[in-house]
Structure 1
Amino acid sequence: MSVQAGESWNYDRFNFHGLSLSGIRTAISMPDFSLSFDVAQGYPYLLNLKHYFITHGHLDHAAGVPYIISQKAMNSQPTANFYMPTSLVEPLDQIMKIWEKIEGHEYKYNFIPVKADDEFELNAQHFVKAFPTTHRIESFGYTLFETNKKLKPEYLGLAKEDIIDMKKRGIDIHDIHQTPLVSFTGDTQIEFLDSRPWVRKSKILFMEATYLDDTKGIDHARQWGHTHINEIIPRLKDIESEQIVFIHASSRYSTAAALQLIAERVPREFHERVVLYPGR
């Protein structure tokens, strides 16, 4: 059981920077991949990225979109890509047109509609794939995948010269392996775990855990499209991720209180795999 001070957290070769607190702000970036999951109010650590994956349109997740666009224009940065639920594209486009009238400036931006299972290439080895989540409005989660080529078993042990010759003759000698590295849910009910098999197999899973005690019950959480820790605990055994990162904790909990509740409620066998991401 752990929490990082400040806004940064890392695991293995992956570095994250951001904050997540229910109803207040959620924006967690992966600077090495020039991407962010959600944008909160548009904090400085987000401004130089290229790809923004918006889970849904609530203000604590998406309010920063216009500000990021304006800052990129002011600093002559290339047009960024904002990936978002299809139903969000038109309203956000209208908001940008209103801001253009207010500021007397025409902005450039790419609002890319998302459907379940859409894939978006980042580079030759990495892409992001959308998966459905269940919230009060249209919402998606996103998974960062890594693609690797591996020699097919029947060609293992061949001499280098033979492999080169087979490539020249157009023989497909590789299997393509796609590994889910990082999954991120945004706001959702617990059913996201069953939406796509790769989500709970991701090396790192960022998942909502808004309610951590019994002050508000499961029914209340579900009514608002959120997840209660009492729903998460029975499902921990189903999650294969090396790290399960709780985000979006209610602002009613201090960091110390949230950590204590998690330590008390999560079975000890999972303590080394469960992380509370900083929100303040």
Structure 2
Amino acid sequence: MIPREPARNPNLGFLYIPPYRIQGISIAGEQSVVQIPELDLVFDIGLAPRTALTSNFCALTHGHMDHAAGIAYYYSQRYFQGMGAGTVVCPKAIEQAIHNVMGAWVDLEAQKTPYKVIGLAHEEEVEIKNNIFLKGFETQHTVPSLGYTVIEKRSKLRSDLVGLPQEQLLAMKEKGEEITQTLHIPLVCYTGDTMWGDHFDREDVLNAKILITECTFLEDDHKSRAGVGKHLHLDNVIELLEKAKSDAVVLVHTSRRTHIAQVKKTLNERIPREYQDKLFVLMDNRTNKQRYQKQLEEAED
């Protein structure tokens, strides 16, 4: 009897939500890695698929292995391929643990891999591109965890000065008066693994143009399991959709316990019609591919 072929690795999920590509794999308990190349950023690192290596920054939400197992490989492959030392941004509480992991690899490999790690506390931020900042905020999971918002800071003339002559504005500036204000524009939010809580009332979460959030449990009889594991249930997602002003909400961290066809069926039945057009599932590869093909066709017209 001829044996079966080995199981194939899951394909990368892919969405194009202008101006960003959202790509990666996010399967609860197996691996989560969600990359946005245009921001030079990958959220969590899973098993470090090849595409994720190109991002200079990795925003690690927490230390569970399905989100963090690829850290050392991410650092190592970037160095091996001449990409420079990668930077992992993480909750401050696990910063030392990452140093410990990299120290253990020195013992195993008998060589040092260059790496950078930045621990963030609640509300702290780091600049990842010119005028683009990554801000961490506390979430509620079974271990120390952060969600992240990518914020663009734009300088703009104060609204009360709009319409004044240029020479008057220059005179005010020469006197040392501040004539501009800084706008904080939330571009993308990634919540990571978390239960429902006050962090879903944050303005930078609700106003992010793209909101990427977990939805680990969909079945009605799994609400208690969601509470125990400190994850979101579909009921929480529906409440979030009612509050969020995002152009797109992307669901990640779905589970193999629920086949993607059943996920789609449940969402179609439960999600109010007015929100369905802005709701996406990263691992719904067939639907996402059809949508992308349509985008390509429309771009050619």
TM-score, scaled to structure 2: 0.85
Residue 154 of structure 2 is matched in structure 1 by 148
**Distance (Å, rounded) in 1 between the aligned partners of 2:100 and 2:199:** 34
**Distance (Å, rounded) in 2 between the aligned partners of 1:88 and 1:110:** 14
Runs of 4+ displaced beyond 6 Å: none
Deviation at 1:170, TM superposition (A): 2.9
CA RMSD of aligned residues (A): 1.9
User: Quick check: 1:56–1:140 contact (8 Å CA) kept in 2?
Assistant: yes
Distance 1:136 1:92, change over 3 A: same
Counterparts of residues 46-57 of structure 1 (less than 5 Å): 46-57=52-63
Distance 1:192 1:20, change over 3 A: farther
Mind listing any 5+ residue stretches in structure 2 that lack a counterpart?
1-10, 286-301
**Distance (Å, rounded) in 1 between the aligned partners of 2:284 and 2:239:** 25
Counterparts of residues 177-188 of structure 1 (less than 5 Å): 177-188=183-194
Residue 233 of structure 2 is matched in structure 1 by 228
Q: Does structure 1 residue 88 correspond to structure 2 residue 94? A: yes
Query: Higher RCO, 1 or 2 (CA under 8 Å, sep at least 6)?
Result: 1
More helix by percentage: 2
Distance 1:117 1:136, change over 3 A: same
TM-score, scaled to structure 1: 0.91
Partner letter of residue 119 of structure 2? P
Query: What is the aligned residue count?
Result: 275
Distance 1:34 1:190, change over 3 A: same
Deviation at 1:232, TM superposition (A): 2.5
Counterparts of residues 30-179 of structure 1 (less than 5 Å): 30-179=36-185
Percentage identity across paired residues of the two chains: 29
Partner letter of residue 43 of structure 1? P
**Distance (Å, rounded) in 1 between the aligned partners of 2:169 and 2:151:** 27
**Distance (Å, rounded) in 2 between the aligned partners of 1:7 and 1:22:** 14
Partner letter of residue 23 of structure 2? H
Partner letter of residue 226 of structure 1? H
User: Quick check: 2:138–2:199 contact (8 Å CA) kept in 1?
Assistant: no
Deviation at 1:279, TM superposition (A): 6.8
**Distance (Å, rounded) in 1 between the aligned partners of 2:188 and 2:261:** 26
Partner letter of residue 246 of structure 1? L
Deviation at 1:86, TM superposition (A): 2.2
